[in-house]
């Protein structure tokens, strides 16, 4: 059952009050409905992680890597529960046993999008929190997404934008964060990608181009729990080694690899399947990636 | 005076003998009646017969003519009874006997000549099985009938000629069968070497053609899916003798054999548009006709834009995909048509089509994409052996690589490998009801696809890792068997199984 916290309550997140204090009082959510574990600590060190709904494979990988380390070090990951970038951030946190807050654009009793029911349950099971300023089963509307973004930005000390197009919700969150005086981290991406244009714009405007989780944790003055050992793949098989070497540079199609190494695609396919089984590489949308 | 002329009626692919009984009565008003469940086309033959006889400069008898078609409770359709009816009348006027052990069929033209008529091949098959020797059919339809050995097939040009022949004035010589040249399978528009890149997709096509596996291609518009499918038609192996007879039967029944045509020896490539009706695709009508799936029997049914096909039509493919035939039940009759086809489907990953595109961005919502992909149901996808994603090819990928011949093989070269692989399968399945790997049932897989321990281990690991269904597990074995056949190997090796895993089902989900 959903419970509610009002602005006058002591429980009302201080950081949110702080963020909004310079703004007109009417802009802050008067009442926050929530499900799950409401505690002081969960709001202590929040990091908002937002990204495009059409997250690329690169964006997903980078999100997983950064979020996993941050969450493991004790940061609470806040995001908007939309599919794509938000979902990647929540999932990665839940997976490593971290705490996450999902700020919903709809009524507290509605799961939106409905396809992520499983993730919703997992967030609650792992001691996370679901928050909304709307009651009951209010349907999400265009403006509620934007309203939601101000809470996401308001709850956190810093915002990490993973991937964003030029006109996107992620940039709206970032602009709220800027207004509230929060630190902004942006993930650098390839200049050829539509989904990097937003993050590159943020970097140009002064956001910190993040390349490893330590940079975020330094900002929070937290030392990382452990350094993840760099995985190295030595297969002892020349073709497999060559493939790994190539895939480390960029993801490629089977056809391209076959042409590159001048081996029949049948033989190459065999190697790719075996490497996939060994967990060295991964395939998505016809392209192969290093794991 | 009562005359009997034997002919046949084709109910689907089944043939029944029909006796055309013609009675010319001197009593009663002059007239011309046909009885015995004659359809519209049969009833209209009265006018054709009358005019053709007059054109042949014979006086049409001013008697009461009654034609009965026995058995009287079987519906008869078509224009094939013109010749037997005309001959019955003429034999009474000109006084010649109807030869023994003979069957007659043919549509008349007003000038007395005979036109190409469907069903001659089916009649020849029936004649062979039931001890008839002489067939009198239109000249244009004679060659297909002569494909059945041991019969005398008389090519009839016109009424005057056959009357003179039966009167003993001239001879018509039985035709000797000539196999026509079918250069290529229908639908070949591209050679494999014209398709740049797409090596893996081409390889999948080769495997599909070898083992008769169903295949689905998913990719953005312009990535070459249709081109690949058209090129597939050029690497299909020829039909074997038994298959050739089966296919020719269907085409004979549906009037698909051209004048002067012979046995169909090439696999057929059918590509119905997605606006095709259910009856057009799977067969139907009040007098059930074979649909596209039957016309694609032993060949390829190419469904471009697979998820644009209405769901009812796609789901109707399930049973024939499993059984290889379809029974069309209507209140008046039930007809079974064979429909053992190889399904080649192509689909876009999302409504806008660019979900998998490396450059263009897709602007469909997750919801739209899911809805779009759900149009193809799980049971259908589960019946497809090979799943490939086809990515658009960047023209710059090929600069300076054009002449590398190993990546641009001609269809004919691939086809030779396919034929060899098919021969291995036919040799292996000699004595079984099947002739290709894709047709194997679980019992066959147990018998012919023993997996070595290490190969089974790979497959077991893969099915855990990629969450393959039990049916997919079996399909991987079938595909691996075909890859081994292409390799000329008796046993399925690790490399064959690993390659097969490349074509495993992918839920074509987008990031």
**SS3 letters across chain A:** CCEEEECCCCCCCHHHHHHHCCCCHHHCCCEEEEEECCCCHHHCCEEEEECCCCCCHHHHHHHHHHHHHHHHCCCEEEECCCCCHHHHHHHHHHHCCCCEEEECCCCCCCCCCHHHHHHHHHHHHCCCEEEECCCCCCCCCHHHHHHHHHHHHHHCCEEEECCCCCCCHHHHHHHHHHHCCCEEEECCCCCCCHHHHHHHHHHHCCCEECCCHHHHHHHCCCCCCCCCCCCCCCCCCHHHHHHHHHHHHCCEEHHHHHHHHCCCHHHHHHHHHHHHHHCCEEEECCEEEEC
Where are chain B's structural domains?
A: 2-166, 192-501
A140, A106 in Cβ contact below 8 A? yes
**pLDDT score, position A159:** 94
A3-219 CATH: 3.40.50.450
Lowest mean pLDDT among A248-257, B121-130, B198-207, B394-403: B394-403
* Long-range Cβ contact pairs of B425-434 (< 8 A, separation 24 or more): B425/B210, B425/B211, B425/B482, B425/B485, B426/B240
Identify all chain A residues contacting B393, using CB atoms and an 8 Å cutoff.
255
| CA distance to A252, B217, B377, per residue, from B389 (Å) | 13, 6, 18
pLDDT band at A115 (very low <50, low <70, confident <90, very high): confident
Q: What angle do CA B383, B388, B392 make, to 5 degrees?
A: 145
CA distance A254 to chain B (A): 7
Query: Cβ of A258 and B200 within 8 Å?
Result: yes
CB contact A264 to B (< 8 Å) = yes
| Tokens 């090819």 found at | B393
Could you report the per-residue pLDDT of A188-231, keeping only the tens digit for each?
999 988 899 999 999 999 999 999 999 999 999 988 766 555 55
B185 burial (CB, 10 Å; 0-12 / 13-18 / 19+) is buried
With helix as H, strand as E and coil as C, how does B39-85 read?
Answer: CHHHHCHHHHHHHHHHHCCCCCCCCEEEEEEECCCCCECCCCCHHHH
Tokens representing A167 are: 């006109």
Distance CA B373, CA B349 (A): 7
pTM for the full predicted model: 0.83
Identify all chain A residues contacting B349, using CB atoms and an 8 Å cutoff.
285
Query: Cβ of B390 and A286 within 8 Å?
Result: yes
Tokens representing A215 are: 């940079």
Q: Which of A252, A86, A234 is nearest to A160 (CA)?
A: A86
Give the phi and the psi of residue A76 in degrees, each rounded to 5.
Answer: -95, 125
The kind and range of the H/E element at B333 are: none
Distance CA A87, CA A123 (A): 11
B128, B151 in Cβ contact below 8 A? yes
* pLDDT of residue B427 exceeding 70: yes
Query: Cβ of B361 and A115 within 8 Å?
Result: no
**pLDDT score, position B510:** 32
Identify all chain A residues contacting B355, using CB atoms and an 8 Å cutoff.
285
* pLDDT of residue A233 exceeding 80: no
Tokens representing B356 are: 């998998």
Percent of the residues in chain A that have a pLDDT greater than 70, as a whole number = 93
Mean pLDDT within B388-393: 87
Task: List all residues 6 or more positions away from A252 whose beta carbon is below 8 Å from its beta carbon.
Answer: A246, A260, A287, A288
B478 burial (CB, 10 Å; 0-12 / 13-18 / 19+) is buried
CA distance A82 to chain B (A): 10
CB contact A197 to B (< 8 Å) = no
Give the phi and the psi of residue B459 in degrees, each rounded to 5.
Answer: -65, -40
Could you report the per-residue pLDDT of B340-354, keeping only the tens digit for each?
999 999 999 888 888
Mean pLDDT within B271-286: 91
Lowest mean pLDDT among A18-32, A85-99, B93-107: A18-32
Of A259, A270, A277, the CB nearest to B499: A270
- Classify domain B2-166 at the CATH topology level: Ribosomal Protein S5; domain 2 (3.30.230)
Of B361, B397, B502, the CB nearest to A54: B361
Identify all chain B residues contacting A165, using CB atoms and an 8 Å cutoff.
361
**pLDDT score, position B509:** 40
Percent of the residues in chain A that have a pLDDT greater than 90, as a whole number = 45
Which one of B199, B208, B210, B405 makes the best mutation probe of the A interface by having the most chain A beta carbons within 10 Å?
B199
Q: Helix, strand or coil for residue B423?
A: helix
CB contact A60 to B (< 8 Å) = yes
In angstroms, how far is CA A188 from the centroid of its own chain? 14
* pLDDT of residue B403 exceeding 60: no
List B residues 430-459 in contact with A (Cβ-Cβ < 8 A): 458
Query: Cβ of A253 and B502 within 8 Å?
Result: no
Q: What angle do CA A74, A80, A86 make, to 5 degrees?
A: 75
CA atoms within 13 A on the CB side of B255: 9
Tokens representing B357 are: 């595109």
CA distance A24 to chain B (A): 35
* pLDDT of residue A170 exceeding 80: yes
Distance CA A281, CA B409 (A): 29
Of B199, B356, B461, the CB nearest to A255: B199
Could you report the per-residue pLDDT of B78-90, keeping only the tens digit for each?
899 999 999 999 9
* pLDDT of residue A172 exceeding 80: yes
Identify all chain A residues contacting B457, using CB atoms and an 8 Å cutoff.
none
Mean pLDDT within B366-379: 84
Identify all chain B residues contacting A56, using CB atoms and an 8 Å cutoff.
511
B161, B155 in Cβ contact below 8 A? no
Average pLDDT, chain A: 87
Max distance between CA atoms of chain B, in angstroms, equals 90
Q: Which of B120, B179, B127 is nearest to B150 (CA)?
A: B127
Identify all chain B residues contacting A288, using CB atoms and an 8 Å cutoff.
none
Higher pLDDT, A116 or B182: A116
Distance CA B79, CA A186 (A): 78
Residue of A nearest to B362 (CA): A54
CA distance B241 to chain A (A): 32
Q: Helix, strand or coil for residue B191?
A: coil
Mean pLDDT within B123-142: 94
* pLDDT of residue A22 exceeding 80: no
The kind and range of the H/E element at B380 are: helix B378-382
Q: Which of B315, B136, B342 is nearest to B232 (CA)?
A: B342
| Tokens 């099947």 found at | B434
Identify all chain B residues contacting A273, using CB atoms and an 8 Å cutoff.
462, 498-499, 501-502
Tell me the ipTM for this assembly.
0.81
B358 burial (CB, 10 Å; 0-12 / 13-18 / 19+) is middle
CB contact A57 to B (< 8 Å) = yes
Query: Cβ of A269 and B390 within 8 Å?
Result: no
List A residues 11-50 in contact with B (Cβ-Cβ < 8 A): none
Identify all chain A residues contacting B389, using CB atoms and an 8 Å cutoff.
285-286
**pLDDT score, position B511:** 27
Mean pLDDT within B97-126: 94
Distance CA B388, CA B503 (A): 6
**pLDDT score, position B508:** 43
List A residues 203-262 in contact with B (Cβ-Cβ < 8 A): 253-256, 258-259, 262
Higher pLDDT, A29 or B163: B163
Distance CA A259, CA A252 (A): 11
Query: Cβ of B356 and A285 within 8 Å?
Result: yes
B244, B257 in Cβ contact below 8 A? no
A124, A102 in Cβ contact below 8 A? no
pLDDT band at B249 (very low <50, low <70, confident <90, very high): very high
CA distance A286 to chain B (A): 6
pLDDT band at A112 (very low <50, low <70, confident <90, very high): confident
* pLDDT of residue B338 exceeding 60: yes
- Classify domain B192-501 at the CATH topology level: Rossmann fold (3.40.50)
Q: Helix, strand or coil for residue B36?
A: coil
Mean pLDDT within B17-31: 93
Where are chain A's structural domains?
A: 3-219, 238-290
Average pLDDT, chain B: 89
Of B356, B358, B401, the CB nearest to A259: B401
DSSP sequence for B229-296:
HHHHGGGPPPP-HHHHHHHHHHHHHTT-SPTT-----S--EE---TT--HHHHHEETTTTEE-HHHHT
Give the phi and the psi of residue B216 in degrees, each rounded to 5.
Answer: -125, 135
- Look up residue B350 and give its DSSP letter: S
**pLDDT score, position A187:** 95
Lowest mean pLDDT among A148-152, B296-300, B393-397: B393-397
CB contact B399 to A (< 8 Å) = no
- Give the number of other Cβ atoms within 10 Å of residue B157's Cβ: 14
Mean pLDDT within B453-476: 90
* Long-range Cβ contact pairs of A200-206 (< 8 A, separation 24 or more): A201/A166, A201/A171, A202/A161, A202/A164, A202/A171, A202/A174
pLDDT band at A49 (very low <50, low <70, confident <90, very high): very high
Distance CA B312, CA B469 (A): 24
Which one of B347, B365, B366 makes the best mutation probe of the A interface by having the most chain A beta carbons within 10 Å?
B366
* pLDDT of residue B285 exceeding 80: yes
Which class in CATH covers the domain with range A238-290? mainly alpha
CB contact B476 to A (< 8 Å) = no
Identify all chain B residues contacting A115, using CB atoms and an 8 Å cutoff.
366-367, 370
CB contact A191 to B (< 8 Å) = no
CB pairs under 8 A between A and B: 97
Taking each helix axis from N to C end, the angle separating A142-155 and A169-179, rounded to the nearest 10 degrees, works out to 40
Lowest mean pLDDT among B162-166, B256-260, B294-298: B256-260
């Amino acid at each position: 059952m959903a419970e509610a916290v009002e602005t006058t309550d002591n429980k009302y997140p201080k950081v949110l009050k702080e963020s909004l204090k310079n703004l007109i009082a009417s802009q802050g959510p008067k009442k926050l409905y929530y499900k799950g574990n409401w505690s002081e600590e969960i709001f202590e060190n929040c990091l908002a992680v937002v990204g495009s709904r059409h997250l690329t494979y690169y964006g997903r990988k980078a999100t997983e890597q950064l979020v996993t380390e941050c969450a493991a070090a004790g940061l609470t990951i806040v995001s908007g529960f939309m599919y794509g970038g938000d979902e990647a951030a929540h999932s990665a946190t839940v997976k490593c046993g971290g705490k996450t807050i999902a700020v919903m654009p709809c009524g507290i009793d509605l799961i939106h999008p409905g396809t992520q029911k499983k993730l919703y349950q997992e967030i609650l099971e792992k001691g996370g929190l679901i928050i909304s300023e709307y009651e009951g089963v209010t349907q999400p509307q265009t403006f509620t997404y934007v309203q939601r973004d101000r809470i996401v930005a308001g709850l956190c000390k810093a915002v990490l934008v993973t991937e964003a197009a030029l006109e996107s919700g992620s940039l709206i969150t970032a602009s709220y964060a800027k207004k509230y005086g929060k630190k902004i981290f942006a993930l650098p991406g390839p200049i050829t990608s539509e989904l990097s244009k937003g993050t590159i714009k943020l970097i140009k405007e002064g956001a910190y181009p993040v390349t490893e989780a330590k940079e975020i944790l330094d900002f929070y003055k937290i030392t990382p729990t452990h350094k993840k050992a760099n995985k190295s793949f030595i297969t002892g098989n020349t073709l497999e080694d060559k493939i790994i070497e190539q895939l480390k540079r960029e993801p490629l199609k089977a056809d391209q690899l076959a042409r590159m190494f001048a081996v029949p695609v049948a033989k190459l396919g065999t190697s790719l399947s075996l490497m996939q089984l060994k967990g060295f590489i991964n395939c998505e949308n016809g392209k192969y990636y290093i794991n | 005076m009562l005359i009997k002329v034997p002919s046949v009626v084709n109910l689907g692919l089944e043939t029944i003998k029909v006796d055309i009984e013609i009675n010319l009565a001197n009593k009663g008003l002059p007239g011309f009646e046909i009885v015995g469940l004659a359809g519209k086309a049969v009833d209209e033959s009265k006018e054709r017969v009358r005019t053709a006889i007059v054109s042949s400069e014979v006086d049409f008898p001013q008697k009461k003519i009654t034609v009965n078609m026995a058995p009287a409770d079987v519906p008869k359709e078509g224009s094939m009874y013109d010749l037997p009816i005309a001959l019955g009348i003429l034999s009474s006027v000109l006084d010649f006997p109807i030869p023994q052990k003979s069957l007659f069929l043919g549509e008349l033209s007003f000038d007395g000549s005979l036109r190409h008529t469907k069903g001659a091949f089916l009649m020849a098959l029936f004649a062979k099985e039931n001890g008839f020797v002489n067939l009198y059919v239109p000249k244009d339809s004679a060659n297909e009938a002569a494909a059945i050995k041991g019969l005398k097939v008389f090519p009839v040009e016109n009424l005057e000629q056959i009357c003179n022949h039966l009167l003993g004035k001239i001879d018509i010589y039985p035709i000797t069968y000539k196999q026509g040249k079918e250069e290529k399978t229908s639908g070949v528009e591209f050679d494999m070497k014209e398709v740049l890149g797409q090596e893996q997709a081409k390889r999948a096509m080769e495997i599909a053609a070898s083992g008769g596996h169903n295949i689905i291609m998913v990719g953005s518009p312009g990535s070459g899916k249709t081109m690949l499918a058209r090129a597939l038609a050029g690497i299909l192996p020829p039909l074997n003798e038994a298959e050739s007879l089966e296919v020719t039967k269907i085409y004979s029944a549906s009037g698909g054999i051209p004048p002067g045509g012979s046995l169909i020896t090439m696999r057929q490539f059918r590509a119905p548009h997605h606006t095709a009706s259910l009856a057009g695709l799977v067969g139907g009508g009040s007098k059930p006709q074979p649909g596209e799936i039957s016309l694609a029997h032993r060949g390829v049914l190419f469904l471009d834009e697979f998820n644009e096909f209405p769901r009812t039509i796609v789901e109707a493919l399930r049973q024939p995909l499993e059984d290889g035939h379809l029974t069309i039940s209507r209140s008046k009759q039930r007809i079974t048509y064979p429909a053992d086809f190889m399904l080649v489907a192509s689909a876009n990953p999302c409504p806008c089509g660019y979900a998998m595109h490396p450059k263009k961005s897709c602007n469909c919502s997750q919801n739209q994409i899911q809805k779009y992909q759900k149009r193809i149901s799980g049971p259908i996808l589960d019946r497809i052996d090979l799943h490939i994603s086809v990515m658009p090819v960047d023209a710059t990928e090929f600069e300076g690589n054009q002449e590398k011949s190993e990546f641009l093989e001609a269809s004919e070269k691939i086809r030779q490998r396919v034929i060899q692989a098919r021969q291995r399968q036919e040799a292996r399945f000699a004595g079984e009801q099947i002739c290709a790997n894709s047709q194997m049932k679980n019992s066959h897989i147990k018998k012919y696809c023993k997996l070595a321990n290490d190969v089974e281990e790979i497959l077991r690991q893969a099915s855990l890792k990629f969450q393959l269904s039990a049916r997919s597990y079996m399909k991987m074995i079938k595909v691996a068997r075909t890859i081994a056949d292409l390799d000329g190997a008796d046993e399925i090796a690790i490399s064959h199984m690993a390659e097969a895993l490349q074509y495993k089902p992918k839920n074509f989900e987008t990031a």
